[in-house]
Structure 1
Amino acid sequence: MSVATDPQSPAPTGPSPVVDGGRRRVVAMTVWGVAFVAGWLAIGLPTDPAYAFLWIWAGTVAWNSARPWRSHLRFARDWLPVVLLLIVYNLSRGFADNGAVPHAYELIVADRVMFGWATGGQVPTVWLQQHLYQPEVRWWDVLASWVYFSHFVVALAAAAVLWMRDRGRWAAFMRRWGFLCATGLVTYFLYPAAPPWWAAQNGLLEEVARISTRGWKAFGLHGAGNLLNAGQIASNPVAAMPSLHTAFALFVVLFFLRATRKRWWPLLLAYPLAMTFTLVYCGEHYVIDVLVGWAYVGMTFLVVGLAERWWAARRARRAPDRSAGEQSPAPTDDKVPAGR
């Protein structure tokens, strides 16, 4: 008696879809990388929110090049309000400079009180530049320029990755980031404060150089930071308190910290510390600005977390009422009509 068996499926003869998709991604990302470098050299680093968004969007298109265009258009739709809010935020910061003399003296006093015992009575910015700043560009200047630039792209890039992997976490990220930007902006209006380089220009401190972009000279890329330099010239000089540069760095790290293995925590936490060193050394912020920025991050997680839990509890309380109303039978009249 013969035993019937199912015939074996023929082995695939064409290229594997996974391999083909992987090659397509490599090609697309290579094209994106070459275009990014060309744009960087020709125009400058993407520090403007709209310009940075275009590069990040193009990067997501290249990474997911096998997906239909509907998916890529959905990314643009979801991000349009975010980009508009960032543009409004950048423009509105300038209105905080209403012509009044900004706060500076109390920030100088705060840094001297906290660190004068270690710096001979000087603010940390002056002490660091006296010990590290030299006419020729050194390796720490290059590192500082890259760390400073990262402020403009790290949060957006992290949010883009979240959008592709988990849109719910992306929404949670954006709620916290939006709250952090809003509280910082309100503070700029209520308490306009000037950075160390401004205080030095107005005779309140010893000479302080604004050197956050000088690291590009080490590579001969004098125009690499054109947009960044132009943004610094046009930026609001009284938006120093709190430091949202270091607040963004700490915020991104803390958002992903619990989902990261503990052995990587020191590396992640080194980022906001590197940003702190960069901002203080380059004359962009006092240490007190950094500490207040960190406090705003803690307030952001606390307030938004409480608001989310309140909203979830409210929805949970209303859900049984809605379900009960949907399941209750319609009223009927069991009485026999008259005349029968």
Structure 2
Amino acid sequence: MAVVTDPQPPARTGAPSSPDGGRRRVLAMTIWGVAFVAAWFGIGLPTDPAYAFFWIWAATIAWHSDRPWRSHLRFARDWVPVVLLLAVYTISRGFAATGATPHALEMIVADRFLFGWATGGEVPTIWLQQRLYRPEVQWWDVLVSWVYFSHFVATLAAAAVLWMRDRSRWTAYMRRWGFLCAAGLATYFAYPAAPPWWAAQNGLLTEVARISTRGWKEMGMHGAGNLLNAGQIASNPVAAMPSLHTAFALFVVLFFLSSLRKRWWPLLLAYPLAMTFTLVYSGEHYVIDVLVGWAYVGMTFLVVGLAERWWAARRPRRAAVAPAGEQQPSVIPAQTGPSEQEAIPAAAVAVPAER
């Protein structure tokens, strides 16, 4: 069964050259970069959705600094409803942990059943930490922290690029992303599940260190993990099944895969694999969480793709049975830039950032 990833890859169009040769853009992006690094060291990396949105919006302003302000305000109009819904998601996600007895043994049994033959009967998290974890931070710990951080910005950044380049693809992206997030949130309520570090703290596993953010210390960036560490302390411990971390990573890759040459596919597909290693090694997820997250991505593309085709087929029939003389709304062609058409509201899409 084929899964449609990106419904309509756009034709490449040449962008008009800048009158000043791009010097204004270079200057604006340099200012943005300096401000970002200063905030990074002073406050921390943007792992909070609203904070990440601020920096992404600032980047779009810097990249298109020659555009009128109404174009930049259009970005806020489209995205502020999404950010507000993120707050609603965060609150509702917290309710999933209220009074819940998280499932833990099932994931332990599943990982041992699937991989015990290769790990000596241990879950992969313990097997990896026994071989790679050291009291001192290692170079791979730094890479793990970077990969883990990418979860909080990669999906939003890809959406921002789509918003600037092709609004029709942006709306298709947001529909799929919103469905994926809603499916994950529903599962957290229906099946609250705990990660390996929680199981170890409660005596269900031997010692598991939660080490997803320890890599910052090696680079002397003690402030870099402040927001991330604070978010982990306040995070919902029963939001482990499915893993939206790895689901987001695979989702972004699959959405753009069909529009890129096949020689780039191995590099892109390495990202969800790197995220999988990061989550399992750092004690954040079991492998079964990852596999279920991947299944949710496949379900998302299948269900939303079928719904889009059903709706596209239904619209001509509705037009054909409309009363005589009733004026039908015109269809606005897809645009290639935000300045040509009013934005499509995204208030019905909730886009969470998993902790």
Q: TM-score, normalised by structure 1?
A: 0.89
Identity of aligned residues (%): 83
Is 2:79 aligned against 1:45?
no
Q: Corresponding residue for 2:55?
A: 55
> Residue type of the partner of 2:289?
D
Displacement of 1:325 in angstroms is 3.4
Is 2:191 aligned against 1:200?
no
Residues 124 and 280, structure 1, Cα contact 8 Å, conserved in 2: yes
Displacement of 1:100 in angstroms is 2.7
Change (3 A) 1:17 1:150: closer
Deviations 1:15-35 (A, max 9, x none): x98251510000000000000
Displacement of 1:321 in angstroms is 3.7
Displacement of 1:319 in angstroms is 2.5
Q: Corresponding residue for 2:288?
A: 288
Deviations 1:90-137 (A, max 9, x none): 221111012232100010000000000000000000000000001111
Deviations 1:135-179 (A, max 9, x none): 111111011000000000000000000000000100000000001
In structure 2, what is the Cα distance between the partners aligned to 1:280 and 1:105?
A: 16
Residues 93 and 236, structure 1, Cα contact 8 Å, conserved in 2: yes
In structure 1, what is the Cα distance between the partners aligned to 2:321 and 2:191?
A: 47
Residues 246 and 290, structure 1, Cα contact 8 Å, conserved in 2: yes
Q: Corresponding residue for 1:24?
A: 24
TM alignment of 1:312-327, pairs within 5 A? 312-322=312-322, 325-326=325-326
More displaced 10-residue stretch of structure 1: 317-326 or 163-172: 317-326
In structure 2, what is the Cα distance between the partners aligned to 1:194 and 1:251?
A: 23
User: Which consecutive residues of structure 1, in runs of 5 or more, have no partner in the other structure?
Assistant: 1-15, 328-340
1:266 is paired with a residue of what secondary structure?
A: helix
Deviations 1:207-238 (A, max 9, x none): 00000000001111122110000000000000
**Which one has a bigger Cα radius of gyration?**
1
Residues 128 and 281, structure 1, Cα contact 8 Å, conserved in 2: yes
Deviations 1:267-309 (A, max 9, x none): 0000000000000000000000000000000010011111111
Q: Corresponding residue for 2:302?
A: 302
Q: TM-score, normalised by structure 2?
A: 0.86
In structure 1, what is the Cα distance between the partners aligned to 2:39 and 2:174?
A: 28
Going by fraction, where is helix more abundant, 1 or 2? 1
Which aligned runs of 4 or more in structure 1 are off by greater than 3 angstroms? Answer: 320-327
> Residue type of the partner of 2:37?
V
User: Which consecutive residues of structure 2, in runs of 5 or more, have no partner in the other structure?
Assistant: 1-15, 328-355
Q: Corresponding residue for 1:188?
A: 188
In structure 1, what is the Cα distance between the partners aligned to 2:87 and 2:50?
A: 7
Q: Which has the higher contact order (CA 8 A, sep 6+)?
A: 2
> Residue type of the partner of 1:155?
T
